[in-house]
Amino acid sequence: MNINEKEQQFKTYLAEIDYYREALMLIHWDMRTKIPNKGVEQRSEVAGFLGEKIHQLQTSNQMEEFIGELKHRSEDPILVKTLEVCEEELERNKQIPHPLYKEFMITQTKAEAIWQQAREDADFNLFQPYLKKLVDYNRDFASYWGYEDNIYDALLHKFEPGVTVETLDHVFPDLRKSLLSLLEKVQASAVKPDPSLVQFHFPKQDQASFTEQLLKQMGYDFQSGRLDETVHPFAITLSLSDVRLTTRYDEKDFRMAVFGTIHEGGHGLYEQNIDPRLVRTPLATGASMGIHESQSLLWENFIARSYPFWQKNYDLFLRYAPHTFQNVELEAFYQAINEVKPSFIRIEADELTYPLHIMIRYELEKALINKEITVEDLPHLWNEKMKDYLGIVPSTDREGVLQDIHWAGGDFGYFPSYALGYMYAAQIHHTLSQTLDVENLVQTGDLTPIKDWLGKSIHQYGKMKKPLEILTDVTKESLNPDYLIQYLQKKYGAIYQF
């Protein structure tokens, strides 16, 4: 068989894997948005079957044969990178028994449904036995994958290749110190934005209509996606032509849906603008969760929370908002939506305190995986860290340890990506601002050049490049947290006049 025929066989094999993946993603979307409670048990078995099937195909003798025959012969750069990614996946996962992976998928799918109920009831005990199983699975997987210094490194690698516990333990303490210093200045300031100005009742449907207009302004393609409601907002990619967003509405505070939807829209734009040549390969996704978060946070914070953005969109906002907003001046509105105040819920946190939420979760995850604490310890340790970092203590597990879906999804090693993504975003935004007149573009509502620049610089590559490679290619330097601190210092120094 000649090389062209073998390459075509490999592409057909990859497509089969992707068919199962797409079906599994549709199941995950449905279970987080539409499924009736009694459907969870049987649907979990389907998810387990599909997950096991994908695992089998990724680690099969056939996959090993394709890699062996093609990796030194193929001259197609996309195929060469695909083979590299497939080989790493094979080497990491071939030691994991297929039945164990199937058990994990079933448990994970059930756990998400149980988490939703536990969160609603504010009852950690309901979720605890599922979480214990998921922690054990992750420890087992990390042992199979292997690591050098810290078992948690094996989990970090899944979401942020190249980043280790050593990296985070070096960067996070300095970042925390800088953030707490800024927070002290904010709290000491005599200038206090009035959040009550933006907390009038705002009907859900009107919020939905407004946020859809903002997504269209960003360039999100509704012909290749949709927006739905869920408990915990997420974006999910079935295919590059079917990238779905979800949001959560609070009729007492529109900020939840508006900024949450823009955040997920940033994820959606990334996926919708990956090079179509990568379709049906494992490269048709983001470089890492940190790079993904850099895109969503760039849109949510650096664009949508800026004054120029609301100079352009405030009249549009008032068109959809209740009459009670009509007497709120733009300047007061801008300050109110940018109030800095320690809060319990991560996805509702202001820009300045947001990374502190991530550090809390990182420290707990790392300790949990390293068997320094137990699952039973989590609720009270969570509350202690909230008090230590933010000076507040949750009154229930709903606003504490149960607020995020990630642990229910078995995604240990994910949370640091949020803080890394925020630092990436600040660095990328700095470079973007040196290339384009971002402030003027945002003020005039012409966001297409920004979308196109991000598409050309980052999105199109999918997983063709490693995350730190993208960062250095775009910004011409390695990770530099100073850009985030400088951004926050400038913005909140102006708002709080310090």
- Band of pLDDT at residue 192, cut at 50, 70 and 90: very high
Q: How far is CA 114 from CA 33, 344, 381, 407, in A?
A: 14, 22, 22, 12
- Band of pLDDT at residue 118, cut at 50, 70 and 90: very high
Contact 325, 171 (CB under 8 A): no
Do the annotations mark residue 292 as ligand-binding? no
Is 90 exceeded by the pLDDT of residue 2? Answer: no
Which of 85, 106, 130 is the C-terminal boundary of a domain?
A: 130
Residue 160 lies in a domain: no
Q: In what order do the strands lie in the sheet with 235-239?
A: 225-229, 242-247, 235-239
- Band of pLDDT at residue 232, cut at 50, 70 and 90: confident
Q: What per-residue confidence (pLDDT) applies to 231? A: 86
Q: How many domains does the chain have?
A: 2
* Burial classification of residue 407, based on how many CB atoms lie within 10 Å of its CB (0-12 exposed, 13-18 middle, 19 or more buried): buried
Q: What per-residue confidence (pLDDT) applies to 221? A: 98
Q: Mean per-residue pLDDT for 223-229?
A: 97
User: 225 and 327: one domain?
Assistant: yes
Residue 351 lies in a domain: yes
Query: What's the rounded Cα separation, in Å, for the pair 30 and 226?
Result: 13
Which two tokens mark 380? 């009270």
Residue 273 lies in a domain: yes
Which of 130, 149, 173 is the C-terminal boundary of a domain?
A: 130
In tens, the pLDDT along 444-496 reads: 999 999 999 999 999 999 999 999 999 999 999 999 999 999 999 999 999 99
Residue 398 lies in a domain: yes
Whether 87 is catalytic is no
Is 80 exceeded by the pLDDT of residue 113? Answer: yes
Residue 147 lies in a domain: no
Q: Domain containing 387: what range?
A: 165-496
* Burial classification of residue 123, based on how many CB atoms lie within 10 Å of its CB (0-12 exposed, 13-18 middle, 19 or more buried): middle
Which of 75, 109, 130 is the C-terminal boundary of a domain?
A: 130
Is 80 exceeded by the pLDDT of residue 1? Answer: no
Residue 47 lies in a domain: yes
User: 173 and 124: one domain?
Assistant: no
Which two tokens mark 493? 């120094």
Work out the mean pLDDT of the chain and round it to a whole number: 96
Which two tokens mark 268? 């959606």
User: 121 and 193: one domain?
Assistant: no
User: 218 and 287: one domain?
Assistant: yes
Residue 447 lies in a domain: yes
Which two tokens mark 15? 């497509």
Return the CATH number at 381. Answer: 1.10.1370.30
Do the annotations mark residue 293 as ligand-binding? yes
User: 175 and 298: one domain?
Assistant: yes
In tens, the pLDDT along 71-81 reads: 999 999 999 99
User: 412 and 483: one domain?
Assistant: yes
User: 102 and 10: one domain?
Assistant: yes
Report angle CA 218, 223, 227 to the nearest 5 degrees.
Answer: 65
Contact 53, 20 (CB under 8 A): yes
Do the annotations mark residue 157 as ligand-binding? no
User: 54 and 184: one domain?
Assistant: no
Q: How far is CA 74 from CA 9, 63, 81, 87, 207, in A?
A: 13, 15, 10, 14, 51
Half-sphere exposure of 43 (CA within 13 A, CB side): 23
User: 70 and 174: one domain?
Assistant: no
Residue 115 lies in a domain: yes
Catalytic residue among 7, 52, 112, 264: 264
Contact 30, 226 (CB under 8 A): no
Query: What's the rounded Cα separation, in Å, for the pair 54 and 468?
Result: 28
Q: Which is higher by pLDDT, 370 or 72?
A: 370
User: 113 and 233: one domain?
Assistant: no
Residues recorded for the chain: 498
Contact 123, 397 (CB under 8 A): yes
User: 84 and 215: one domain?
Assistant: no
Q: What per-residue confidence (pLDDT) applies to 112? A: 93
User: 238 and 295: one domain?
Assistant: yes
